[in-house]
Structure 1
Amino acid sequence: MNQLPIMQVLPDLKRILTDRTAAILIAEPGAGKTTAVPPAFLEEPWLAGKTILMLEPRRLAARSAAGYMASCMGESVGQTVGYRMRMDTKVGRNTRIVVVTEGVLTRMLQSDPSLGDVGLVIFDEFHERSLHADLGLALALEAQSVLREDLRILVMSATLDGDRVASLLNEAPVVRCPGRTYPVDTIYMPEAGNATLTTPEKSAAAAVRRALAEQPGDVLVFLPGEREIRRTEQELALGSLPPGTVLRPLYGQLPQPQQDAAVAPAVDGERKVVLATSIAETSLTIEGVRTVIDTGLRRTQVFSARTGMPRLTTVPVSKASADQRRGRAGRTAPGVCYRLWSREAHDHLPDDNVPEIMETDLAQLALELALWGVRDPGALAWLDAPPAAPYAQATALLRQLGALDAGGAITPHGRSMAVLGAHPRIAHMLLRAADLAAAPLAARLAALLQERDLFRGPAALDSDLTLRVEALFGFERSASSGGADPAALRAVQRESRVFLAQLQAAPGEGPGDISRSGLLLSFAYPDRIGQKRGDGAFLLSGGRGAAMREGQPLARSPYIVAPGVDDRAGQSRIMLAAALSEQDLLKHHADSLLEEREVYWDSESGSVKARRVTRLGTLILKQTTHERATPEETESVLLKVIAAEGLQLLPWEKGTTQLRQRMEFMHSLRAEWPDMSDEALTDTLEEWLAPFIQGMRNLRDLQRVKLTQALEGMLDWNSRQLLNKEAPTHITVPSGSRVPLDYSNPGAPVLAVRLQEMFGQINTPRIGGGKVPVLLHLLSPARRPMQITSDLASFWQNTYFEVKKDLKGRYPKHYWPDNPLEAVPTNRTRSSK
């Protein structure tokens, strides 16, 4: 350990933390920060015999770090160095360094906000920006500020924006340390990673064969998830591999012995190919790895604020992650990294991964903050504050689950949920199930929801979650997988035992009545209770539409609960669900049911109706239609329908339309006149239309509205006189005809008149108090436009004679004088002879 690069900067780090309460360490891969830094502080005077906590994001890395530090001291884990993680703890009375995983630090802070026995909290690999790391740092800073001025905080990372973190930690000093890595050659293979030509597992398998042929040592392959790892194993099994080659999967849900086998050095005569997720990206040195193959993909959970539903998605890695992965090949010797993308594609990768707090479900964060006593996350210091819309949806869900009261304060039930440490949905279901003596079934359901699907192939297409419960129960009774994935069954079995232990239920007890699965799931997902629409489609209580794959037996159920929903399409796809009986729904969700009298618009009959309904969210569970709306209620609904569907529902006759246009013309001249646009009229329906629809109930009645009177009612007597004067309906032309004005364009009202009827008039008629010349459409005897002008005098002088030639040729029986200003106007046919 004395050879590690980190030893060069430890004196500076010690000096800083002697004088200050916070520091940042940016140490490149291979520097030795994870295992060398915590022991270096054990004898510092300011620690005063207290404990050092180090947050390590991943369980495998936490166990590995604790084991290595203990071995360097000549001890076993649980003596000076120990670890704490969910359902796995190795600490003793003399333990001074405790490596903890995410969630454990949060629980420790919640149970003892002052961290009285702790002198230093280290946040390792902080660049991963997990939700719990951000939360833990925010709570630790609050504890330091309010309760423990002497508490030291050290943030460590290989790649991190040190200035931003320093600003968050009151301008804490930043210490930088070079790493100890060997040269790594980078080979780009864009043809292998072309998604249009191949899949990640096929390209990874091809790259493995190439690496085994070209490079020495073991191979580490980065894949986005367990599914791709399994498929890559299958691809590699299809062809021959060099003798002695062993495949080792490595992902978070893998049993510990198999994880340890993946990390351990290969035995003599073997070459190891480790197929890993991002779990192997940091804090681990896998002995013997000389080659890294990177698919450039990672799996992440993205929360949709639009639907309130999270979904797993596969995205490209960031440049920082790609560099971390590449560095795994140079930890113990020179290596090679095969990147299954092009140099150009690499330039377009994001610099860093998006922090988890910015794109994941925030329900658990909101519950922890409420337990801490914070209703507004802005009260704490964050590197990136929780985004407002997802956080608001999270608190709304917590209120629905009974974890928060109306004011946002945590309830006793919410405190019990937080103690379980599971997602609030799961915690609420487990607690409700315990009250119903259904904890064994709830524990299995919780495990099934958190682990990978038990089924593979066509069986996985069946959405019915109870089939998974039956498969799990059969496995527990007879150890027969029944076609399900044995590894997945064992993982679910282990996780269900964890939940049973938390509920203090007997681990060997059977799940009980499996038909109650839908009821228990409805406690966890009250917003995803679905009501049958037909053809496999359901309306969810949260307002979202969702549908099952075609041919699902579960689609016949009147009610379901859908914990597994993919919202990528316009209508969500139901991946997992269970049937829910109406009896259970009404009985166990009685507190959430809303009974109300409802007046509504029935689009089929085109009329206002009333009913009494029982609702659960957006679902109508019961309704009676033997109700009659009051005149006031009917009027209100009619106005809303007109506002929503448009003014075209009203009887716009020719005269009414012209009146509206004339009033709009006056508004264009005088701002104080009523605005007659669709938007303005819609916004003021209650003022000008409501008195004229009293007693009406349907679309037919609306055709009897005296719309002209309604519009005129917007004007007083003087305004009506001014309207007739300045925006007349007709203009009397020289022939004596009263020609109507067209106000469809308020900026340029049109007078369409035959040319012969304007003989003798020199200037263009004007309206609007003489301010606006009308736009003359001068027509032929057949009433076809021959000229459009707003300057009649200019027309007579400059254009008439050209028009006259054309008209005289086409209409020889009509009178086309040489001097139109002295001619007699006419609306009849007059011979030119």
Structure 2
Amino acid sequence: MPHRFSCEAIGAGLPVSAALSRYVEASGSGRPVILSAPPGTGKTTLIPPATANEVPGTVVVTIPRRVAVRAAARRLRELAPEMPGAVGISIRGEHVRGERVQFMTPAVLLRMLLRDPELPGVSAVVLDEVHERSLDTDLCLAMLLELRELRDDLLLSIMSATLDACRYAELTGGVLVDVPGVIHPVETRWAPHPGRVHGSPEFWDHVADEAAALLGEVGPSGQSVLVFAPGAREIDAVCARLRARVACPVLPLHGRLSSAEQDEALRPRPDGSPRVVVASAVAESSLTVPGVHAVVDSALSRVPKRDAARGMTGLVTQLAARATMEQRRGRAGREGPGICVRCCSEEEAARAPHFPAPEITTVDLTAATLEVACWGTPRAEGLALLDSPPAQALDDAEATLRRLGAIDSAGHATDRGRRLAELPLDPRLGAALERFGAGAAPVLAALAEGASGDLAQAAGSFRRHPETRRLERLAPRPEDAAHTSRRPHPGEVIAAAFPDRVARRQSGAAPGREEEYLLVSGTRAVLGPECQGLRGRPWIAVASLTRGGRPGAAGVVRAAAALSAEEAERAVGVESETIARLEQGRLRFREVRRLGAVELSSTPISPDPEVGREAVSALLAEHGWDLWADQCGPSTAAGRLAARLEFLHEQLGEPWPSVWSTDVSLYAAPEVERLAQGAPLGSVDVHAVVQRLLPWPEAQRLDELAPAELTLPSGRRRAVSYESGRPVVKTKLQDCLGLVASPEVAGGVRVQFHLLSPAGRPVAVTDDLASFWSGPYQGVRAEMRGRYPKHAWPEDPLAGTGA
């Protein structure tokens, strides 16, 4: 076998070959190489063998999607038949060793780095399609940059079709190599449809109609059509519609297909006749579908989104980013002039985000958190990442990993965590494999391959699946001795992996309404269309949960399996506690058994005094002053005192407290004791509780700073209200005759007077009596004298009184 690839033959006709000498020169600089090349320039085909010609060891090439990895390896083998055995592939379920170039997914490289961080035998790593911002690629880049500090001989190349080159150059200190593409003209047409927003069946009819019309336009000249849809379900829907509309072959292309089915979509027909390929995002930039001169873009993308409030991550269908739409459009111009039909309006496309969001900011980080812990950088601190992971997502991931025993209190990986990281599974699925052994393999294989619906049925079809066989080989001896001789139920396996997603059916659903389930995490969910076979099951274990269609809506269960109440309790662990509840004005005590947010039973009890006090304190801590809303109203002594303290807190700050922001349970010890003994809630002296908040010795100035009442020139005493946040006195105008100016409280805040007529009706509102007497008063006097002649309306209000 020759030692070197023939790059002249491999790169013939590829635009990237014009920049090959610059790339080779840059790779000898000792710095990372950043190669920016448009789709279709041949970088994935030419750069790996060119790199192999410059280094003595293996060249590892990562591409985010398995379909693209297989296609790239096959293409290079076809172009270099004189190098048998030189090109290998490593993806989940398939490994063929290559002596010179090894194509793989970033996930495989991550496991290589964790297994042996020095990457012995590897001379170069090429990270392709980094613009997709997959989480695994970002982590690989960060770890490789650290590795290069120890191995300055390791060549690192970063390639992308739509690269933010400046950011990568700043991060890596690399050399930029830009490859201009040979751009064939592509005509863009706009075909919006109102059903696109919700992905209605009518919208997919529209997409199929556009593809059929486009095929009629380009098909007679032997050209094919490529259609982009967001996922496997939509791809199948479009394929079914197109087969009823066109006579040529209609082929799906997505990651769930078998290798043979993928190869069929990527291989042109021997006679060169046209076809329609309906593809997912896998065909956006990593793959070339031969013969395509026309593209129909649904303008939709399916992206992972984490719902932090409900602790779930699911795939969300949304308007594609502009960079994504441009890549899809470019597919029509790879082999010559083309046409792109976008199923959205030009205005909608202009409003789309420029780039897709990086996965590190949107997905569940459990596996990534374990990987960086095994690397020795808990929470990814110190790693060179383009974007930092969200703190809450890291917190949630660490909580999950601690429950699994995979990390310690400081975030460092434990021995078990390292074992789980070596498995090609999410750590939660790996923990289920450890617990149940090979018997769990069919269920875990179904999950790994993205199965949906009732997983008890899906697992049956995965008994002889290659992924199942692989997991059976990896499975350790079961930890759970009860399952060494029998296959565990699918629900048990899912519950072991995701105990927070065990759910119980809620009773009382109205006729015709969807059944609702409550997860032990507190999230509400309904069964999706694919899970209707589980309808009526009292307990389910949820493997896949997506967000509802609108804010606040229940989640949608996409994959789950039934389990018994006993299995649910065993997986989650029953908690028992004494709680206090307000029932008919009294606190009643109950012994509650629960699985997280799911209440199993509630039994009335008479607790011992200590337990009763703890329950009442917990109730006060949860509900606070709201428990005493009636006793804290503005007409009550407690409410008036609280308003005075709130006013002083707002005007003067500490040590005057903000009453309603204070934890009432800290000041209500005597009341807790009485309530724990069964006293009615209404019998509590809330005024005494508020008084305990008074700061000493400052409390001695309370009446000076915020007086409860004022004595007016008429001799009458009037209450000062602080409920509105400022001092207010309501009184008849005659009570204020002779009062030169508005009094001030709290060191300078003037009292606002609501002046009333003798009949109690408002005549003026002012916090500046001096200005009122010298101006508006004369108008009020002229109007009121005739209406109320028996009352004093002196011409000089400062000389007369209303007594």
**TM-score bin (small chain):** 0.7 to 0.9
Which residue number in structure 1 is paired with residue 4 of structure 2? none
Aligned counterpart in structure 2 of residue 466 of structure 1, from 456, 475, 478: 456
Which residue number in structure 2 is paired with residue 40 of structure 1? 50
SS of 1:429's partner is helix
Which residue number in structure 2 is paired with residue 741 of structure 1? 719
Check whether the contact 2:228–2:298 (CA below 8 A) recurs between aligned residues.
Answer: yes
Aligned counterpart in structure 1 of residue 495 of structure 2, from 517, 522, 543: 522
Aligned counterpart in structure 2 of residue 247 of structure 1, from 241, 250, 260: 250
Query: Aligned partners of 2:405 and 2:774: how far apart in 1?
Result: 85
Check whether the contact 1:367–1:414 (CA below 8 A) recurs between aligned residues.
Answer: yes
Aligned counterpart in structure 2 of residue 566 of structure 1, from 537, 546, 556: 546
Query: Aligned partners of 1:30 and 1:722: how far apart in 2?
Result: 79
Write the deviation string for residues 619-675 of structure 1: whole angstroms up to 9, x where unpaired.
455666342343753663464366251652436685726862895599499848974
Shift of 1:339: 2.4
Which residue number in structure 2 is paired with residue 126 of structure 1? 130
Could you say if the C-alpha distance between residues 782 and 495 of structure 1 is closer, same or farther in structure 2, counting changes exceeding 3 Å? same
Shift of 1:315: 2.2
Could you say if the C-alpha distance between residues 333 and 500 of structure 1 is closer, same or farther in structure 2, counting changes exceeding 3 Å? same
Query: Aligned partners of 2:406 and 2:369: how far apart in 1?
Result: 10
SS of 1:560's partner is strand
Shift of 1:255: 1.3
Check whether the contact 1:660–1:676 (CA below 8 A) recurs between aligned residues.
Answer: no
Aligned counterpart in structure 1 of residue 562 of structure 2, from 554, 565, 579: 579
Shift of 1:120: 0.7
Matching of residue 444 in structure 1 with residue 442 in structure 2: yes
Could you say if the C-alpha distance between residues 449 and 30 of structure 1 is closer, same or farther in structure 2, counting changes exceeding 3 Å? closer
Which of the two has higher C-alpha Rg?
1
Query: Aligned partners of 1:647 and 1:214: how far apart in 2?
Result: 75
Moved more, 337-346 or 193-202: 193-202
Letter in 2 for 1:503: A
Which residue number in structure 1 is paired with residue 107 of structure 2? 103
Shift of 1:554: 4.8
Check whether the contact 1:233–1:247 (CA below 8 A) recurs between aligned residues.
Answer: yes
Shift of 1:174: 0.6
Could you say if the C-alpha distance between residues 175 and 647 of structure 1 is closer, same or farther in structure 2, counting changes exceeding 3 Å? same
Shift of 1:522: 0.7
Query: Aligned partners of 1:258 and 1:293: how far apart in 2?
Result: 21
Query: Aligned partners of 2:705 and 2:362: how far apart in 1?
Result: 64
Could you say if the C-alpha distance between residues 541 and 271 of structure 1 is closer, same or farther in structure 2, counting changes exceeding 3 Å? same
Shift of 1:154: 0.8
CA RMSD of aligned residues (A): 4.0
Aligned counterpart in structure 2 of residue 238 of structure 1, from 228, 240, 244: 244
Query: Aligned partners of 2:758 and 2:281: how far apart in 1?
Result: 84
Letter in 1 for 2:413: I
Query: Aligned partners of 2:646 and 2:340: how far apart in 1?
Result: 74
SS of 1:627's partner is coil
Aligned counterpart in structure 2 of residue 13 of structure 1, from 23, 41, 44: 23
Could you say if the C-alpha distance between residues 643 and 802 of structure 1 is closer, same or farther in structure 2, counting changes exceeding 3 Å? same
Shift of 1:402: 2.6
Which residue number in structure 2 is paired with residue 485 of structure 1? none
Check whether the contact 1:764–1:774 (CA below 8 A) recurs between aligned residues.
Answer: no
Query: Aligned partners of 1:666 and 1:604: how far apart in 2?
Result: 34
Check whether the contact 1:766–1:773 (CA below 8 A) recurs between aligned residues.
Answer: yes
Matches within 5 A, 1:696-707: 696-697=675-676, 701-706=680-685
Query: Aligned partners of 1:666 and 1:325: how far apart in 2?
Result: 62
Which residue number in structure 2 is paired with residue 336 of structure 1? 339
Shift of 1:421: 0.8
Check whether the contact 2:191–2:341 (CA below 8 A) recurs between aligned residues.
Answer: yes
Could you say if the C-alpha distance between residues 670 and 267 of structure 1 is closer, same or farther in structure 2, counting changes exceeding 3 Å? closer
SS of 1:602's partner is strand
Could you say if the C-alpha distance between residues 195 and 80 of structure 1 is closer, same or farther in structure 2, counting changes exceeding 3 Å? same
Shift of 1:16: 2.2
Matching of residue 394 in structure 1 with residue 397 in structure 2: yes
Write the deviation string for residues 119-138 of structure 1: whole angstroms up to 9, x where unpaired.
11111222222122112112
Check whether the contact 2:730–2:756 (CA below 8 A) recurs between aligned residues.
Answer: no
Matches within 5 A, 1:683-722: 683=663, 686-687=666-667, 690-691=669-670, 694-697=673-676, 701-706=680-685, 714=694
Shift of 1:30: 3.2
Check whether the contact 1:561–1:578 (CA below 8 A) recurs between aligned residues.
Answer: yes
Which residue number in structure 2 is paired with residue 187 of structure 1? 189
Query: Aligned partners of 2:39 and 2:367: how far apart in 1?
Result: 32
Aligned counterpart in structure 2 of residue 277 of structure 1, from 273, 277, 280: 280
Segments of 5+ residues of structure 1 without an aligned counterpart are 455-462, 477-491, 828-833
Which residue number in structure 2 is paired with residue 228 of structure 1? 234
Could you say if the C-alpha distance between residues 692 and 720 of structure 1 is closer, same or farther in structure 2, counting changes exceeding 3 Å? farther
SS of 1:425's partner is helix
Could you say if the C-alpha distance between residues 556 and 514 of structure 1 is closer, same or farther in structure 2, counting changes exceeding 3 Å? farther
Check whether the contact 1:29–1:181 (CA below 8 A) recurs between aligned residues.
Answer: no
Query: Aligned partners of 2:623 and 2:281: how far apart in 1?
Result: 56
Letter in 2 for 1:526: P
Aligned counterpart in structure 2 of residue 211 of structure 1, from 211, 214, 218: 214
Letter in 2 for 1:743: S
Could you say if the C-alpha distance between residues 447 and 606 of structure 1 is closer, same or farther in structure 2, counting changes exceeding 3 Å? farther
Could you say if the C-alpha distance between residues 523 and 7 of structure 1 is closer, same or farther in structure 2, counting changes exceeding 3 Å? same
Query: Aligned partners of 2:446 and 2:470: how far apart in 1?
Result: 13
Matching of residue 311 in structure 1 with residue 314 in structure 2: yes
Name the TM-score, length of structure 2 as normaliser.
0.84
Shift of 1:354: 1.7
Letter in 1 for 2:224: D
Could you say if the C-alpha distance between residues 614 and 12 of structure 1 is closer, same or farther in structure 2, counting changes exceeding 3 Å? same
Query: Aligned partners of 1:722 and 1:106: how far apart in 2?
Result: 66
Shift of 1:113: 1.0
Check whether the contact 1:741–1:750 (CA below 8 A) recurs between aligned residues.
Answer: yes
Shift of 1:523: 0.6
Moved more, 318-327 or 663-672: 663-672
SS of 2:124's partner is strand
Shift of 1:359: 1.3
Write the deviation string for residues 31-66 of structure 1: whole angstroms up to 9, x where unpaired.
32222222223343xx2x311111122223322322
Query: Aligned partners of 1:779 and 1:614: how far apart in 2?
Result: 60
Which residue number in structure 2 is paired with residue 457 of structure 1? none
Write the deviation string for residues 365-387 of structure 1: whole angstroms up to 9, x where unpaired.
11222222221302211122322
Could you say if the C-alpha distance between residues 29 and 797 of structure 1 is closer, same or farther in structure 2, counting changes exceeding 3 Å? closer
Query: Aligned partners of 1:781 and 1:393: how far apart in 2?
Result: 65
Which residue number in structure 1 is paired with residue 512 of structure 2? none
Moved more, 151-160 or 386-395: 386-395
Segments of 5+ residues of structure 2 without an aligned counterpart are 1-10, 478-482, 510-514
Check whether the contact 1:650–1:702 (CA below 8 A) recurs between aligned residues.
Answer: no
Query: Aligned partners of 1:296 and 1:816: how far apart in 2?
Result: 79
SS of 1:332's partner is coil
SS of 1:660's partner is helix
Could you say if the C-alpha distance between residues 671 and 161 of structure 1 is closer, same or farther in structure 2, counting changes exceeding 3 Å? closer
Matches within 5 A, 1:759-798: 761=738, 763=740, 780-786=757-763
Write the deviation string for residues 210-262 of structure 1: whole angstroms up to 9, x where unpaired.
222222312211221221221112212333x35xx111211111111121111
Check whether the contact 2:134–2:360 (CA below 8 A) recurs between aligned residues.
Answer: yes
Letter in 2 for 1:559: W
Check whether the contact 1:187–1:339 (CA below 8 A) recurs between aligned residues.
Answer: yes
Could you say if the C-alpha distance between residues 634 and 588 of structure 1 is closer, same or farther in structure 2, counting changes exceeding 3 Å? closer
Shift of 1:528: 0.8
Query: Aligned partners of 2:114 and 2:757: how far apart in 1?
Result: 90
Aligned counterpart in structure 1 of residue 72 of structure 2, from 65, 70, 74: 65
Check whether the contact 2:35–2:157 (CA below 8 A) recurs between aligned residues.
Answer: yes
Shift of 1:88: 1.4
Which residue number in structure 2 is paired with residue 502 of structure 1? 474
Moved more, 312-321 or 226-235: 312-321
Query: Aligned partners of 1:650 and 1:275: how far apart in 2?
Result: 67
Query: Aligned partners of 1:557 and 1:699: how far apart in 2?
Result: 40
Shift of 1:729: 3.9
Query: Aligned partners of 1:63 and 1:2: how far apart in 2?
Result: 22
The percent of aligned pairs where both chains have the same amino acid is: 32
Letter in 1 for 2:73: A
Which residue number in structure 2 is paired with residue 488 of structure 1? none
Matching of residue 426 in structure 1 with residue 429 in structure 2: yes
